[in-house]
Amino acid sequence: MFDIHKASPVLFCGHRASGGGMYSGIFDFHPELLVFPHESKFFQVFFPLVELMKFNKEQKINQLLNKNFEFLRSGFFDVCKADKEYFNFDKFIEIFKNEANKGDSWDHYFRSMFVAFAFVTPQKLDSVKYYIERTSSTEIYALEITKRLPGVKFIHNIRDPRDNYASIKSRWNKKLKNLTDSDSIEALRQTCIMRGRLGIDMGIINEKIIGSENYFFTKYDDMVKNPNKELEKISKFLDIDKSKFNMKPTFCGLDWPGNNMSNKKFSKISSSQSGSWKERIDDEEAALMEFHFKDVFEKFNFKFSFSPEERLDAAREHYKWLNHFSKFKADFSLAAKAKW
């Protein structure tokens, strides 16, 4: 029987499209880990929203039920085609409601999520030491989280910024289908620079304050190229059995299409997406990422592909747009106010 108070939380963090889903699949059904199988967006959407909006208890619970847990439902039934006998989503919701109503704090709701999941998962839970949640942006709130989740550990995934940008751009293209005008493309570049830098910079500071014994960096590229070596590091960090990790990532024990863009199911950990930026983005975009993430490349041993001059050229051209766009928006806003 799983006891939430005898297990410790592990939060997997990092920028979106940096390979978090693959890690969840590798950790899935490890006998010492209870892994919430899909990104719950608890610390990306729920955690900041309830603070900003001053939600009452009913609104907080409804936010999780109607928004956050939809990702879990979709993962089981839309993506993995599970049946209700394998995972009783209605029972999960029922138990979560009952448990959540016993308190009113974000950490209580977080634990309630795992209490409910533990009740319905097909996994055996006799040996579970950690319960694991994955959400991009968690690193931004890490210091605040440590105050309410004693014993929490963080695993922060870093991906080559060029591949990270290429993956996000592909998703934008697929979802929006109109990422062709220069303003949209430049805005995407700026978003990836600002948000990507923020997460990594905060992660580096988190490690210094929280300590490397509780805050661990892993590299996506190292995992896909030499998974045994990287899993050895993670198993030591968590003090768990390395031999029980999945070399074929799964979703709560089910086959899972890990790459949303290719829609292919995992047969094994694959390095096919490492370095794929060379075919997915142009040289100017790649050089721009190298310019803005220069210290990240140096700290985490990513190899530069462009000269300092080429990186400067790319940054200068992007700044022309940034300066013009910022000024245009400001001028437009002032003109609109004057008109009205």
Residue 299's pLDDT is what?
97
Check residue 33 and give its pLDDT.
97
- Percentage above 70 pLDDT, the chain: 89
Q: From CA 274, how far away is CA 263, in angstroms rounded? A: 17
Residues facing residue 157 across a β-bridge: 218
Q: What is the 3-state secondary structure (H, E, C) of 148-212?
A: CCCCCEEEEEECCHHHHHHHHHHHHHHHHCCCCCHHHHHHHHHHHHHHHHHHHHHHHHHHHHHCC
Looking at residue 336, what is its pLDDT?
44
Query: Are β-strands 250-251 and 215-219 bridged in parallel, bridged antiparallel, or unpaired?
Result: unpaired
Predicted pLDDT at 337: 43
| CB-based contact 314:284 (threshold 8 Å) | yes
User: Is 70 exceeded by the pLDDT of residue 334?
Assistant: no
Averaged pLDDT for residues 202-228: 97
Strand 254-255 to 250-251 pairing: antiparallel
**Per-residue pLDDT, 286:** 97
Residue-wise pLDDT for 92-138, tens only, equals 999 999 999 999 999 999 999 999 999 999 999 999 999 999 988 89
pLDDT score for 40? 86
Domains in the chain with CATH codes: 4-160+199-270 (3.40.50)
Separation in Å, CA 319 to CA 85, 289, 335: 55, 13, 24
pLDDT (tens digit per residue) in 255-281: 876 655 445 555 678 888 899 999 999
Which is more confidently placed, 250 or 178?
A: 250
Please give the distance of CA 308 from its chain centroid, rounded to a whole number.
31
pLDDT at 11 over 50: yes
